[in-house]
Chain A
Amino acid sequence: MKNYNKIILLIMIGFMLSCSESFLELSPQDSVSDEEAITNLEDLETSVTGVYDEISGAYYYGRYMFMIPDVMADDVKQNLSANRIVDYAEHVQNVSDSQANALWTGMYFANNALNNIINSDVEVTASTQDEKDHLIGEAYALRGLVYFDLVKLFAQHYTFTADASHAGVPIILEFDPTLEPERNTVKEVYDQIISDMTKAISLMKTTSRSANSNTLSSVAVKALLSRVYLYKEDWVNAEAMATDVIESGYTLETNANYLNLWAADNSTESIFEIAMTETDNVGSNSISGLYLSPAAGGYGDYLPSNDVVSLYEAGDARLGVFIDDPLLAGDYAPYRVNKYPEVLGYDNVKVIRLAEMYLIRAEARAEIGTNILGAQQDLDVVRQRALPTAPTTIAIGDALKDAIFLERRLELCFEGQRLWDLMRKKKNIVRTQCTSSICEIPYGDDTNILPIPQNETDVNPNIAQNPGYNK
């Protein structure tokens, strides 16, 4: 009898005690509190890496940052079976478009992660101050890059209005979940980009953390900045930045090895490229997936237009990036793009490379007009690398500018640049070999930029929609 009493008492006391507070205090196993996330150098590095990962996704550099502007322009034609982003190819994208939303959301997600790094307060020792500066510098540079991409996609180009006072994108530099920001002007956005990249250059080392082009160095940031200046038509600074990069030790792939530029990772002329590894890649959601034929395992949604292929002279090494596909017929024949040869999505995505630096400097010099010879020589570096037999450029004035513009098309096609080149040169999009229902889109057309996504306009009464897009 006594024993029963004791047993029951023990059970009772036992379960009273088990009701302790700590039983209910659990924390997740695969995350940490946001307040404790950035406390030391290692956390900074992890956080910067997280942003690179974000921009490597299929909805950013992994695929659509290149593919959307390219299908909107004139180098690319739709295949019969084109399905993905066909609204952009047809210039009928709308406010509920999921790609526009994913780009917008992803870019601001990256921006917030970068603000989190830039605004963090990590104490380090003197011996590691350099490392910290470099990481913070990378965050500034990446923020500049994100805003540059945002303003290209969602706003008209810098010179659309005389003082760039037309609507850009909201600049957010501090985290605040209650924000309902207005759009800053394009000028303000460019100023922020230039400020961020300049700050980055001052903080960063000339070699990247990864010792290759998969992460940024100060030189790589200069390359990006020279493109920003070019788009802004700040020729002097564009030339200066390009010169710094050209003189920093990168070398162009040889004519013989031209295709190596696309087949291999981290070539000698690569300045910044997004890493895709065997275990971490975009898989079939890659640029190659949209270009390669079903026979090669791709979707084959898009093809190179003869508009661009026919511009190459015979013997141009760059013709090697087009492959014949006998299964294509009619207007769809005969080529496929092979700049992205790995169908499994392992291709590193080349964001910026040395050849473009020569072309930027050539264009800047031609525009400034004081170093025409330099401009001609820069152009020839690129041209004769591809076609060694090409004659030395003697054109001047507008003819030189046209030659540079043509070379940009030949060199940089399918690298997500053509649309911006057409826009900043205030040219119409003209598709001669056209498989779309729309073959000419005038300069300044509303459909040349993306709508502000409905998910933003629905919750943010202060944001203005781009013209031509209804609610």
Chain B
Amino acid sequence: MKKNLSNAILTVMKVFLLFIAIGLTSAYANTAVGQVKVDIDVKSISIEELFKEIQKTSDYIFFYKDDVLKTNKKISLKFDNAKVTKILDEAFQNTNLTYKIIGKQIVVKKNENKISESISDEEIVSQEKNIKGVVADANGQPLPGANIIIKGTTKGVQTDFDGKYSIEAKAGDILVASYVGFITKSATVGSSLVINFVLNEDAASLDEVLIVGYGSQTKESLTGAVSVIKADELQQAPTSSFEQSLRGSVAGIQASAIDGAPGANTEIRIRGIGSINASSEPLYVIDGIPISAGSQSTNDNDGASSNVMASINPNDIESISVLKDAASTAIYGSRGANGVILITTKQGKSGKATIELKTLTGFNSQASKNILKPLNAEQYKELYIEGYVNKGLTAEAAQAQLDNLYTQQIDPSTGEATDTNWLDAITRTGVTQSYDLSVRGATDKVKYFMSGGYMDQESYIIGYGFSRFSGRSNIEYKVNDYLTLSNNISVSDITSSTAPDGGSWNNPFKSTLELSPLIPIYDEEGQFNSEHVSYFPIGSNPVGSLSGDDLWETNTSRIIDNFAVSINPIKNLVFRSQWNFDVLSINESTYYNRRYGSGYETNGYAYEANTTNKTWVGTQTLDYTFDFQSNHNLNLLGGYEAQQTIRESFSASGTDFPNDVVKTLSTAAAEYSIAGSKSEYTFSSMFLRANYNFNSKYYLSGSIRNDGSSRFGADNKYGTFYSVGASWNINKEAFMANLSFINMLKLRTSYGLTGNAAIGNFASLGLYGYGNDYNGSPGGTPSQLANPDLTWETQENFNIGLDFGLFKRINGTVEYFDRLSSDLILDVPISPTTGFTSLTQNFGSMSNKGLELTLNADIIDKNDFRWSLGFNTTFIKNKITELDEDYTDGAYRRQVGEDFQSFYMYGWAGIDQTTGSVQYYTDETETTITNNIGQASRYLVGKSATPDFYGGFNTSFSYKGFSLNANFMYSYGNYLHDSRAVGSLGDGRLTPRSTATYLFENRWVEGKTDALFPKFQWGGHSGSNQANITRWLYDGSYIRLKDLTIAYSVPEKYTSLLHLNSARIYARGTNILTFTKDKDLYIDPEQAINGSYSALTPAMKTISVGLDIQL
């Protein structure tokens, strides 16, 4: 049934597009001219009425003084497709009027020669003088094309390329400066002949143009929920990827920089988690192309330190639109369910070329001061002996153990007993440098933006680094009135170096806590200590490893090209053909040295891998705006899109190296191992969208998309997704006229169906897999159960929002959403006796409901002094609404009626303060206590990783050239689970690994009554190896000052001396302050969205200084 319907819709869409195609060609044949020509058919009207008529049917605007049109001449004209000059020449016959066309402005004047006799004495008294000035934005950027109008008249001018204007005005006249997207300002003409305007951006402006899927819309016409992040929030952030700037930026988005290693991923969820087993990551679209995001390498270092989005230079981004509801995302069909992040890169701007140079130098350290610290030698020895004594050995026997096995070493560099602080030894102050040069401008025909950037970031961990070279060229060439070509190309090359994270032996943070402080870093020969016997967990030496003895390098090259042809054959019709290529090539190199650590047993180990990921996307769209010459306005968009992505990877490893100088595979003597894989997927889609409005007051929108994909099962190949939306500009109603303090009031709502196709490439097929080789022969086994019904996850999405603006100072949005994700891909567990443990099905459903609040206020807005506040928050309730069967998934219980991220654990009843042993609750009643975890059972502990609310707030002050901006992010009510504690704080479970001072100071000893940890004994206690205990659960609420910038714009009088347009110096702190609700929290609060701490690198703090200059 679903398939039949889909096919029917597909057929209809094909026919529709064909119709458009044929219609287009015939329409094109009838039309020979572009927009500059006008149809006119009027009888006996005044000149003023004629001007209005022309303004209505074209883009021209007339400027003239009131008295100019004092003529009774009536005009009758009839022209088809006439040039405006021809019409005006005809109309102005026998008048004393002349005109001049400047761009889209037509300035009408009296012919001075003919009217000189009519100037009266009175006019001489209040003689007009020439007022000049510059219109600029808050950053001092000139605004070309801004309008300056004398209030109460229609007389006005526009600023030139340098933002300069000059106008004839009388004293007492009020000049009004306005510019799209900025708050209008006025000034009264006094004695001064110079009036400069500084316009501030108007976040609430309804004229603001937003980028949406397959086009752009004014804010006024929007029916969907779209938030925008502007370029100035992304520029020169000392972070490797722009995604980190999204943290706390707009309502509805939960972004967490889960890994502090340079180049690492940022996890992003838009309006909650929409899927259980498929991806919950949003779709990323750059300049119209869906692109590959996340980690694409064969090995992401056991963590997340690999992110292809870091290949995009944040300075190249003009804006980021976050699409949140169905009205905005349904046009992306089966890929829209998790929201869409649209990235638009900078385009050329009309005006003279501006050249910008941005530089930044920063110093990196660890953001959270509260992390676990390693033991010193004295503490380690004390704990070591205690561990055995508590196990029943005599103190002498325990001492003998220590002396025999893990004896105190002498540091050869000092000759004294070693007391190594491994944490200090692997940390440093890293340096970040960033340089960015760009040029941006336009001529009549060509708009261009070009940039080159270099960023180099050293982590606060030795050996960790990230560097990026990037170049971009965005060119748009207007061939003629109806043909425009554009090409955006970006090339980048990033290199990152980080050790494996998580449980890996090579995770430096893990090692610093587990290594004994009794062993030195260097041996007698000054080499990194490779003493292998018993001391190091598998003999690693993180300092040597990170100092170059071992190697972990990932090099990513990426080219994204976007070529488009736009044809504008007749007025209001645009055909656009866009072809996009995204080519990613990732090279990974790993080397483990021969002397110690992972490469010791094999006499060196090298691994090399190459991954290429190629995507092409072809998008053809037709966009037509119906012009009813009335209050009705209808825009239609139809399109076809095809995508193919092919990923290939190849990896090889070898062992047994002649020395540690040569590290290539060709120098390996033994144990070659190779692997390769290839996988692809395709999408083929058609879509339609209609936007209608009446009188710019009532808006309706609808979209429909049909997606076919290679990923969907044979019985469910095509899916159809749709949305409807409506909005109402209430403040345009007559009854609102008296409520002048309300300058905006808009109600909008939408409903729609979207999908989540991130289900894996061949999930529906029954497969027999290979690679199960034995004794040199190829082997194969059944590897996947078939489910031909398997298909996308669906999501119903309802949204209602109110946008408001008050007193021209305050604006905000209140929005409610209800996402119901269903047909969720579930690996429904089946009896393992079948040979499989689960069957992948579309089964469960989950709901995310929430409320978003956004508020921005300009508290003070004087010419010199400005203070504004911004605030956003999102309340969210997640609930699993349908499952085949409740099940336990690691630390979580997936249970109907509960939050998806509900922790399911053994209840910790604290330490028995008289004996120092562990205590657990036997069950959820928490009434009975046991020392034996075997007698306890897990239960829902009523805590979840999902925050009650999260968001961000910011404030900015500016006074003259100085400005101060502070951006905070926060999360409240979420819990964090330290799943690594069983290793690093294991009550002595793992002999003879060291531990942290937190355990040392809080362990039970005779007489201590507030112990947090049990009696320390080697081998641990009952449950010491169990991570899913509430003792490892912490309140994760926090506030982080993610960005603090103090800047000074050098006044023009100095910059002009240096022939600079502008210069700005600033100091910036990133992640400089962090407040956690739980004072004992010993991990960075910014963790994976699922709340699981898995020993990823803690967040980085950067203090930087920068200089931006503009030529």
Given contacts A30-B678, A31-B784, A35-B766, contact A456 B833 (CB under 8 A): yes
Across the interface, which residues of B come within 8 angstroms of A8, CB to CB?
21, 24-25, 28, 567, 575
Across the interface, A92 reaches (CB within 8 A) one of B640, B681, B710, B934, namely B934
Which of B83-91, B531-539, B1070-1078 contacts its partner? B531-539
A126 interface hit (Cβ, 8 Å)? no
Q: A26 contacts B710, CB within 8 Å?
A: yes
Within 8 A of A (CB), among B827-843: 829-837, 839
Given contacts A9-B21, A295-B533, contact A280 B780 (CB under 8 A): no
Across the interface, which residues of A come within 8 angstroms of B783, CB to CB?
31
How many angstroms between the C-alpha atoms of A13 and B640 in the bound complex? 12
How many angstroms between the C-alpha atoms of A53 and B682 in the bound complex? 34
Within 8 A of B (CB), among A425-471: 453, 455-456, 458-460, 463, 470-471
Q: A31 contacts B770, CB within 8 Å?
A: yes
Across the interface, which residues of B come within 8 angstroms of A86, CB to CB?
1025
Q: B534 contacts A459, CB within 8 Å?
A: no
Which of A175-183, A387-395, A410-418 contacts its partner? A175-183
Chain B residue at minimal CB-CB distance from A94? B934
B484 interface hit (Cβ, 8 Å)? no
How many angstroms between the C-alpha atoms of A102 and B770 in the bound complex? 20
A255 interface hit (Cβ, 8 Å)? no
A220 interface hit (Cβ, 8 Å)? no
Across the interface, which residues of A come within 8 angstroms of B734, CB to CB?
none
How many angstroms between the C-alpha atoms of A31 and B405 in the bound complex? 51
Q: B775 contacts A112, CB within 8 Å?
A: no
Residues of B in contact, count (CB < 8 Å): 93
Q: A279 contacts B21, CB within 8 Å?
A: no
A28 interface hit (Cβ, 8 Å)? yes
Given contacts A109-B781, A177-B839, contact A80 B991 (CB under 8 A): yes
B772 interface hit (Cβ, 8 Å)? yes
Within 8 A of A (CB), among B669-684: 670-673, 677-682, 684
Chain B residue at minimal CB-CB distance from A463? B831
How many angstroms between the C-alpha atoms of A43 and B770 in the bound complex? 11
Query: How distant is A94 from chain B, measured CB to nearest CB, in Å?
Result: 6
Across the interface, which residues of B come within 8 angstroms of A343, CB to CB?
601
Given contacts A4-B569, A329-B404, contact A460 B831 (CB under 8 A): yes
Q: A295 contacts B762, CB within 8 Å?
A: no
How many angstroms between the C-alpha atoms of A27 and B714 in the bound complex? 12
Contact with B along A38-82 (1 / 0, CB 8 A): 000001011111111110100000000000000000000000110
Across the interface, which residues of A come within 8 angstroms of B18, CB to CB?
12, 16
How many angstroms between the C-alpha atoms of A170 and B831 in the bound complex? 11
Q: B642 contacts A26, CB within 8 Å?
A: no
Q: A34 contacts B766, CB within 8 Å?
A: yes
Across the interface, which residues of B come within 8 angstroms of A53, CB to CB?
772-774, 779, 781
Chain A residue at minimal CB-CB distance from B404? A329
Within 8 A of A (CB), among B539-569: 539, 567, 569
A327 interface hit (Cβ, 8 Å)? yes
Across the interface, B833 reaches (CB within 8 A) one of A4, A32, A35, A181, namely A181
B709 interface hit (Cβ, 8 Å)? yes
Within 8 A of A (CB), among B766-796: 766-786
How many angstroms between the C-alpha atoms of A108 and B785 in the bound complex? 15
Query: How distant is A144 from chain B, measured CB to nearest CB, in Å?
Result: 17
Which of A17-25, A234-242, A374-382 contacts its partner? A17-25
Q: B831 contacts A275, CB within 8 Å?
A: no
Query: How distant is B700 from chain A, measured CB to nearest CB, in Å?
Result: 28
Within 8 A of B (CB), among A278-313: 278-280, 284, 294-295, 297
How many angstroms between the C-alpha atoms of A278 and B776 in the bound complex? 10
How many angstroms between the C-alpha atoms of A56 and B28 in the bound complex? 71
How many angstroms between the C-alpha atoms of A205 and B158 in the bound complex? 97
Across the interface, A280 reaches (CB within 8 A) one of B405, B538, B774, namely B774
Q: A29 contacts B779, CB within 8 Å?
A: no
Across the interface, which residues of A come within 8 angstroms of B765, CB to CB?
27-28, 31, 33
Across the interface, A81 reaches (CB within 8 A) one of B781, B937, B990, namely B990
Query: How distant is B488 from chain A, measured CB to nearest CB, in Å?
Result: 20
Across the interface, A18 reaches (CB within 8 A) one of B642, B782, B1018, namely B642
Across the interface, which residues of A come within 8 angstroms of B618, CB to CB?
15, 18
Choose among B642, B835, B885 the residue with the greatest number of A CB atoms under 10 Å from its CB: B835
How many angstroms between the C-alpha atoms of A4 and B781 in the bound complex? 57
Chain B residue at minimal CB-CB distance from A298? B601
A185 interface hit (Cβ, 8 Å)? no
Given contacts A12-B21, A15-B618, A46-B778, contact A105 B937 (CB under 8 A): no
Given contacts A31-B783, A172-B834, contact A24 B772 (CB under 8 A): no
Q: A459 contacts B717, CB within 8 Å?
A: no
How many angstroms between the C-alpha atoms of A181 and B405 in the bound complex? 52
Query: How distant is B846 from chain A, measured CB to nearest CB, in Å?
Result: 21
Chain B residue at minimal CB-CB distance from A459? B829
Q: A26 contacts B620, CB within 8 Å?
A: no
B887 interface hit (Cβ, 8 Å)? yes
Given contacts A9-B25, A29-B677, A34-B782, contact A19 B14 (CB under 8 A): yes
B400 interface hit (Cβ, 8 Å)? yes
Given contacts A80-B1018, A456-B833, contact A34 B767 (CB under 8 A): yes
Chain A residue at minimal CB-CB distance from B993? A81
Chain A residue at minimal CB-CB distance from B718? A24
A104 interface hit (Cβ, 8 Å)? yes
Given contacts A9-B21, A46-B778, A56-B774, contact A172 B833 (CB under 8 A): yes
How many angstroms between the C-alpha atoms of A104 and B1025 in the bound complex? 22
A11 interface hit (Cβ, 8 Å)? yes
A373 interface hit (Cβ, 8 Å)? no
B17 interface hit (Cβ, 8 Å)? yes
Q: A16 contacts B25, CB within 8 Å?
A: no
How many angstroms between the C-alpha atoms of A463 and B709 in the bound complex? 41
A1 interface hit (Cβ, 8 Å)? yes
Across the interface, which residues of A come within 8 angstroms of B766, CB to CB?
33-35
Given contacts A9-B21, A23-B642, A113-B782, contact A49 B832 (CB under 8 A): no
Given contacts A24-B710, A28-B761, A81-B991, contact A15 B832 (CB under 8 A): no
Across the interface, which residues of B come within 8 angstroms of A101, CB to CB?
832
Q: B672 contacts A29, CB within 8 Å?
A: no
How many angstroms between the C-alpha atoms of A281 and B731 in the bound complex? 74
Query: How distant is B273 from chain A, measured CB to nearest CB, in Å?
Result: 23
Within 8 A of A (CB), among B571-627: 575, 577, 600-602, 618, 620
A210 interface hit (Cβ, 8 Å)? yes
Given contacts A4-B28, A47-B781, A456-B831, contact A329 B405 (CB under 8 A): yes
A214 interface hit (Cβ, 8 Å)? yes
Contact with B along A98-141 (1 / 0, CB 8 A): 00010011001101110110000000000000000000000000
Q: B829 contacts A458, CB within 8 Å?
A: yes
B992 interface hit (Cβ, 8 Å)? yes
Chain B residue at minimal CB-CB distance from A294? B534
Q: B775 contacts A31, CB within 8 Å?
A: no
How many angstroms between the C-alpha atoms of A109 and B783 in the bound complex? 9
Across the interface, A49 reaches (CB within 8 A) one of B767, B772, B830, namely B772
Q: A176 contacts B829, CB within 8 Å?
A: no
Chain A residue at minimal CB-CB distance from B533? A295
Q: B780 contacts A37, CB within 8 Å?
A: yes
- List 7 contacting pairs A-B, 8 Å CB cutoff, sorted by A: A13-B21, A19-B640, A28-B761, A45-B777, A109-B832, A180-B831, A181-B831
Interface pairs A-B: 8 shortest CB-CB = A112-B835, A50-B779, A37-B768, A49-B779, A12-B21, A275-B775, A34-B766, A50-B781
Known: A105-B832, A108-B832. 19 other contacts (CB 8 A): A16-B17, A16-B18, A25-B710, A31-B769, A31-B784, A34-B766, A52-B775, A101-B832, A112-B782, A172-B833, A172-B834, A214-B774, A278-B671, A279-B672, A280-B773, A284-B601, A295-B532, A327-B404, A329-B404
A interface residues, Cβ below 8 angstroms from B: 1, 4-5, 8-9, 11-13, 15-16, 18-19, 23-37, 43, 45-54, 56, 80-81, 83, 86-87, 92, 94, 101, 104-105, 108-109, 111-113, 115-116, 170, 172, 175-181, 210, 214-215, 275, 277-280, 284, 294-295, 297, 327, 329-330, 343-344, 453, 455-456, 458-460, 463, 470-471
